[in-house]
Amino acid sequence: MKQSILWTFAALASAPNVYAWGAAGHEIVATIAQIYLHPSTLNTVCEILDPGSSLRASPTSTPCYISRIASWADKVRRQPKYRYTASLHYVGAVDDHPSQTCAFPGARGWNGKQDQNVLGAVRNTTETLVEYLDGGHGRDTAEEALKFLVHYVGDMHMPLHLTGRERGGNGVKVTFDGRVTNLHSLWDSLLIASSLRTLPYNYTRPFPKGSTRLDVESHLRGAIYDPYVRRVLYEGLGIGPEEGRFTNDMNDWLLCPVPTSQPPSLWNSLQTVLGLSRVGDETRWDDDVLCPYAWGKQLHQLNCAFPVWPAELDLPPYNTSHVHSRSNEFEHVHDEENFKEFLSRPPRPHPDLLELDTPEYAGRLRNEWVVERLMAMAGVRLAGLLNGLFMDTQGLEGEYGSLPLILV
């Protein structure tokens, strides 16, 4: 298609320690979160990840970069010790099609084992850190929980991690710039890369000191996506003198609905007892402070119509191009290991596949800042969660359960 997009893809593929969305997306979320952390929170987080780091840091440097551990959970999930975590990266709703239904979940619940999903994982790793603060766990356990939590918050804000349809989009072939990929890999790998090529040049330079109300530059590592982070913060989250696209929404991102305690219906209870349904009380993961189910249900809506799942994929000829799996399990695949191989494929006609590098799809995603909004939302929520856990709250009363998420 365009030479500039090939240059951007090549740069992403060859840059040291930088991959596609699979890693870079998680690192962007973690970087945004770190910029919003209270200094006392960042010191505590860094001491958990790297004891002594806060003492080694100079007055003008940050004690650590959370982004360095943001994709750790993906790197270890195939190791025997952590193989149990494979299902914790997603929650596969199976009754969310047709799109008009969009059930989350429906009568059949989720793919996979009960509670072993990204929503339960966010809750469980958070509770592990609460127990660490209460003296119930050692630092090693807290370090592992923190690494998982940073990653899982990012995962739950990638909409295709919330649907079991066609294995989260892995089973749907499409083309992007004339090259064959799949819908999940497009969102994991290629959309952020295509956005990088459209960045205004001024974001490639550091913010002048005093031009933003938050320190940004000390939390950047010189990654290829630094300009992307600067733009999301400046134009999206409004850290400059003007309001951003998300300024009026970002505080709402931290809110949870008041949990309801309505008993399940008799029919649902009978279905559960007879093994006909895996629907349970999904609000068991939620309270008035942390509500991964409520957040996930809202995010899942993006799968049921544009901007994630193109309606054309349900119509001939494209509805015959799906690669069906023998397993009902969601296959969590990041495309970073196949990224260079994708670039090596020459563009060629694929009339049986839907091209998504178009003004109607990728162009609209860019114009509406869909991906940027998701990563900003994930970063803000992660920051609020970590501040709620670790911020020095002298003068504030109450335990974690009554302490609201805090954004500084």
Respond yes or no: is residue 334 known to be catalytic: no
Which H/E stretch holds residue 190?
Answer: none
Nearest-angstrom CA–CA distance, 191 and 357: 9
CA distances from 272 to 87, 109, 365 (A): 22, 10, 40
Q: What angle, 0 to 180 degrees and rounded to 10, lies between the N-to-C axes of helices 118-133 and 292-300? A: 150
What letter represents residue 53's amino acid?
Answer: S
Q: Which residue in 89, 157, 165, 230 is the catalytic one?
A: 89
Respond yes or no: is residue 188 known to be catalytic: yes
Respond yes or no: is residue 300 known to be catalytic: no
Q: Which residue in 77, 245, 366, 373 is the catalytic one?
A: 77
Q: Which residue in 96, 115, 155, 286 is the catalytic one?
A: 155
The contacts found for 312-319 with CB under 8 angstroms, 24 or more apart, are 312/354, 313/172, 313/174, 313/183, 313/354, 314/98, 314/99, 317/351, 317/352, 318/352, 318/353, 318/354
- Written as one string, the DSSP assignment of 154-168 is HHTTSGGGSB-TTTT
Respond yes or no: is residue 21 known to be catalytic: yes
- Written as one string, the DSSP assignment of 95-136 is S--STTT--SSBTTBEESSTT-SHHHHHHHHHHHHHHHHTTS
Q: Which residue in 38, 167, 179, 184 is the catalytic one?
A: 184
Q: Which residue in 74, 95, 226, 335 is the catalytic one?
A: 74
Q: Which residue in 21, 72, 110, 187 is the catalytic one?
A: 21
Respond yes or no: is residue 155 known to be catalytic: yes
Q: Please, which residues have CB within 8 angstroms of residue 211's CB and are 6 or more apart in sequence?
A: 240
Respond yes or no: is residue 215 known to be catalytic: no
Q: Is the dihedral of CA 383, 385, 386, 392 positive or negative?
A: positive
Q: Which residue in 151, 179, 231, 334 is the catalytic one?
A: 151
Nearest-angstrom CA–CA distance, 37 and 243: 20
Say how far residue 308 (Cα) sits from the centre of its chain.
14
Respond yes or no: is residue 322 known to be catalytic: no
Which H/E stretch holds residue 176?
Answer: strand 173-176
Please name the residue that has the structure tokens 């990563």: 375
Respond yes or no: is residue 108 known to be catalytic: no
Tokens coding 151:
């990653």
Q: Which residue in 38, 97, 161, 165 is the catalytic one?
A: 161
What letter represents residue 302's amino acid?
Answer: L
Residue in 133, 132, 104, 107 with CA at minimum distance from that of residue 119? 104
Respond yes or no: is residue 161 known to be catalytic: yes
E strands within 237-331?
Answer: none
Respond yes or no: is residue 26 known to be catalytic: yes
Nearest-angstrom CA–CA distance, 381 and 32: 10
CB 36 within 8 A of CB 380: yes
Q: Which residue in 188, 226, 286, 357 is the catalytic one?
A: 188
Q: Which residues are catalytic?
A: 21, 26, 74, 77, 89, 151, 155, 161, 184, 188
